[in-house]
A and B are shown apart, each in its own frame.
Chain A
Amino acid sequence: TQLLEQSPQFLSIQEGENLTVYCNSSSVFSSLQWYRQEPGEGPVLLVTVVTGGEVKKLKRLTFQFGDARKDSSLHITAAQPGDTGLYLCAGALYNFNKFYFGSGTKLNVKP
């Protein structure tokens, strides 16, 4: 059982649609990160959220950290084919010594 559960596992949508990816846990995290990984490459950091209730926007991407610091979401508005990739959430507990990763959401945006 993974500490961070991501859903959905797969998402295939048309260009222009909106989508939300969820990252949930029963544990409280001090911070949570979202990464995107393209085929043949390593993950690249999109954002780090550290405050409960925090909302961060990165162009068409909106990230939210839950009030209780147990969950996070990534919302993409008007998805584009360039958004295609694997999205991973990663959390750090308060007694940090390592990061915990979710299982990932594979997004495919069709033109």
Chain B
Amino acid sequence: DVKVTQSSRYLVKRTGEKVFLECVQDMDHENMFWYRQDPGLGLRLIYFSYDVKMKEKGDIPEGYSVSREKKERFSLILESASTNQTSMYLCASTLGGGGTDTQYFGPGTRLTVL
């Protein structure tokens, strides 16, 4: 079974701090995604990556950056955390690049910015 793990389940940070969220998948998937989930808004795509060192902006990239130095690891960085970035962050991976691919999600990181 595919396993996607995220570094923390819960995280509390202060405004202005730099925050790193880590995601690791163990099935040699090509594609990885970072979403944020807020009540009533579903999942919104922040960034995605189709290959090592490649990244593309999603729908809400402002205030975030990403890094993919190794195929199995995709990191989300909040350069200077703000209270409006308090949210649930979900990482996902897919084997290929097609629209019928299954997205495998991690359990999520609930981030609170004070």
Residues of chain A touching chain B, judged by Cβ–Cβ distance below 8 Å, are: 2, 4, 6, 9, 29-31, 33, 35, 40-45, 48, 50, 88, 90-93, 96-99, 101-104
Given known pairs A40-B107, A42-B106, A43-B105, the reply for A98 and B58 (CB within 8 Å) is yes
Give the number of residue pairs across the A-B interface with Cβ within 8 Å. 67
Output the least CB separation between A23 and chain B (Å).
11
Output the least CB separation between A95 and chain B (Å).
10
Output the least CB separation between A98 and chain B (Å).
6
A-B contact pairs, 11 of them (CB 8 A): A33-B102, A40-B107, A41-B107, A43-B43, A48-B100, A48-B102, A88-B43, A99-B33, A99-B103, A101-B44, A104-B42
In the assembled complex, the Cα of A44 lies from the Cα of B99 at a distance in Å of: 16
Chain A contacts of B106 at CB under 8 A?
42
A42→B90 contact, CB < 8 A: yes
Q: Is B74 an interface residue (CB 8 A)?
A: no
Chain B contacts of A40 at CB under 8 A?
9, 107-108
Chain B contacts of A9 at CB under 8 A?
40
B88-114 vs A: 1/0 string, CB under 8 Å? 001010000111101101111000000
A31→B90 contact, CB < 8 A: no
Chain B contacts of A99 at CB under 8 A?
33, 45, 99, 103
Q: Which one of A40, A91, A97, A99 has the greatest number of beta carbons of chain B within 10 Å?
A: A99
